[in-house]
Structure 1
């Protein structure tokens, strides 16, 4: 499958930068001068993916035909003996995104047109609202609703815990990876389960039911605890309850789903269709949360979403600030093309990020819009600007129970 024309890959570069947070960006250039960009960011393990791309994949791509996207995906996935895993799949994702970007530019069309064309005019996005008290959280949601959002995720500090996942620090936006070594947070499931129904009840009592309300359990509960919480939240008509239990055991969701009608979402830590196959085909979840950056790129993410559509499962692609604007664009293009779009997480980005990544998609009154006349993924990267923001080691926190033992973060 070696190329010989203008679409032949002649150069592969990896750009590691930290404009507000760390990003790993792949640049692929063809003989004809077309440049494609891909996102390979893996929060807290960025350099592992950068090395995988530089030291193991780059040489394999040189001389290949960039138009053979599906075959190159299989070559990078099936070729090596060691498959899957977050590092490998993030690297493959970046290659795949860059190839789709090139394909769109060669055709003079946005990627969503290559995927079948526009299925909707805009994408419903959801931001994160949080507060150190219930009152602060309600006020935060109210602000988001005033900005035009139709869906909001809410988190609030759990009374009795020194820190709680998802809560902003001071006036800064929430960003969990911010220290040179991991923060150690404390956790109590009883305190959390006592508090969350009160939080959600207060939100609905004060703000009503005219918007979609989401909450993230962040893999903290057992299946039985998750089933109890889902049942408790049923009166409040949640849009979803996210990541209630560690996702390695897909069958655990059968117990949860059997005991609650609260919609369930999971998948942001998944990196292949096999991680969610049972969850989808058994209808144990309602939304699949994989990110295109971490689940094999557009090619593989499309397979996951097509499978999900057969079983009435909708998309809710992971969209934190550690998915770069390139990866976000890949999520967005898929969202516009697929029939089973649900919602797109959109945390936004630090101001510095816009100095490196120039994105053509835009947020308008809580919804994401995209142009018809921008080819490829619609994000360009300023490599010179990226050089002004060198990599800074940062870790996600770790989590310990009140007795000192480790717990899932």
Structure 2
């Protein structure tokens, strides 16, 4: 069954998404997510100019061969642009294979290893009272795991807390990146008080997560991890910039707080040391940024050998196609930990029609053949691309810092 057409669709139904559509000679169509937030057009160009011409005439069922053909054949390997492009192709081919077989993708991956996928939501607030209110709403909705982020007193903006007007982090169309201001001491003083307040209000019967978002030095992260231990967090996410894998050894030596990292990783080699030296507890690589279902399963298989669980990134800037693919992987692997779930802004449901479901803190990808997501290209045309940038972070003295 040969590929006869492949096209890249850029749309913005609430967020910017890049969708790859692959069509076969039998009429079966598969879709993949190629979204790289803030750099969407780079992946779209990579696909259109360099990958799509290579797909026409290839056998759609040869997923493994196609993955290596695109990865090794480029010579210039890895990085977010290439790996996101390969992921889009890979996801679309798994979608096709499932539709041809008449089975949901998770059945092709070995079948369900659990009844559902535990997901965590995001509770936020401009102050502790607002955070508690939002946290309670998540518990009332059935969540078993909730991430807590709150504005740090003295800072005009804090990561994880959306703007008061309900907009996204990304600024309005056509403007330069938003400039945020950061001060580490204020954060290190406040974060333990925030976690203490949540535990005092809601007890220890809910999994409590927190995202540092790469802001700390290794010794600062070690200090924070030690300070959070009494509140038994499910994890401390991205405590220090992920590129320096050896830094996590220092953190590990000073705290027993579980560590999660990896949403910015693109390949198994990016996280090899962290996994094999047991420097982390959860690996957060995502299906759309780490080479698709084929490569993400390799990462999770390596992690399984060393007792590391999955905790995949699932932000709203990854399309419903990506999230569906993640759920199929989550449901099938033995070392699943938790899945991030932020949902998608309207009118995404006009463009992406999904079969996955949420009930009592767990999600299921559904049992439709393939991924269970239908992409409406005509509807997508009504939502043109809207250029945006992620923020830039600066310390109080003006130094550019990790956002």
- Number of matched pairs: 401
Contact in 2 for aligned 1:43/1:177 (Cα 8 Å): no
Contact in 1 for aligned 2:267/2:291 (Cα 8 Å): yes
Is 1:15 the counterpart of 2:12? The answer is: no
TM-score w.r.t. the length of structure 1 is: 0.97
- Of 367, 371, 377, the residue aligned with 2:371 is 377
- After the TM superposition, which residues 380-395 of structure 1 pair with which residues of structure 2 at under 5 Å, given as runs? 380-395=374-389
**Structure 2 partner of 1:363:** 358
- After the TM superposition, which residues 247-258 of structure 1 pair with which residues of structure 2 at under 5 Å, given as runs? 247-258=242-253
**Structure 1 partner of 2:183:** 188
**Structure 1 partner of 2:89:** 95
Provide the rounded CA distance (Å) in 2 between the counterparts of 1:216 and 1:251: 20
Provide the rounded CA distance (Å) in 2 between the counterparts of 1:176 and 1:85: 24
* CA displacement 1:178-216 (0-9 Å, x = unmatched): 333210000000010010001001110111101000000
**Structure 1 partner of 2:284:** 289
Q: Gaps (5+ residues) in structure 1?
A: 1-6
* CA displacement 1:59-101 (0-9 Å, x = unmatched): 0000000111001000000001211010000000000000000
**Structure 2 partner of 1:114:** 108
- Of 73, 80, 95, the residue aligned with 2:74 is 80
**Structure 2 partner of 1:126:** 120
Contact in 1 for aligned 2:218/2:248 (Cα 8 Å): yes
Q: Report the alpha carbon displacement of residue 171 of structure 1 after superposing the two structures with TM.
A: 5.9
Contact in 1 for aligned 2:280/2:308 (Cα 8 Å): yes
TM-score w.r.t. the length of structure 2 is: 0.98
Provide the rounded CA distance (Å) in 2 between the counterparts of 1:276 and 1:22: 28
- After the TM superposition, which residues 240-251 of structure 1 pair with which residues of structure 2 at under 5 Å, given as runs? 240-251=235-246
Q: Report the alpha carbon displacement of residue 169 of structure 1 after superposing the two structures with TM.
A: 2.3
* CA displacement 1:147-167 (0-9 Å, x = unmatched): 100000010000111100110
- After the TM superposition, which residues 166-177 of structure 1 pair with which residues of structure 2 at under 5 Å, given as runs? 166-170=160-164, 172=166, 175-177=168-170
**Structure 1 partner of 2:26:** 32
Q: Report the alpha carbon displacement of residue 369 of structure 1 after superposing the two structures with TM.
A: 1.8
Provide the rounded CA distance (Å) in 1 between the counterparts of 2:164 and 2:358: 25
Provide the rounded CA distance (Å) in 1 between the counterparts of 2:165 and 2:103: 40
Question: Structure 1 residues 348, 171: CA separation in 2 closer, same or farther (over 3 Å shift)?
Answer: farther
Q: Report the alpha carbon displacement of residue 176 of structure 1 after superposing the two structures with TM.
A: 1.9
Q: Report the alpha carbon displacement of residue 370 of structure 1 after superposing the two structures with TM.
A: 3.0
Residue 116 of structure 1 aligns to a residue whose secondary structure is coil
**Structure 2 partner of 1:178:** 171
**Structure 2 partner of 1:3:** none
What root-mean-square deviation, in Å, do the aligned CA atoms of Structure 1 and Structure 2 show? 0.9
**Structure 2 partner of 1:4:** none
Is 1:71 the counterpart of 2:65? The answer is: yes
Residue 5 of structure 2 aligns to a residue whose secondary structure is strand
Residue 27 of structure 2 aligns to a residue whose secondary structure is coil
Contact in 1 for aligned 2:324/2:365 (Cα 8 Å): no
Q: Report the alpha carbon displacement of residue 16 of structure 1 after superposing the two structures with TM.
A: 0.2
Q: Gaps (5+ residues) in structure 2?
A: none
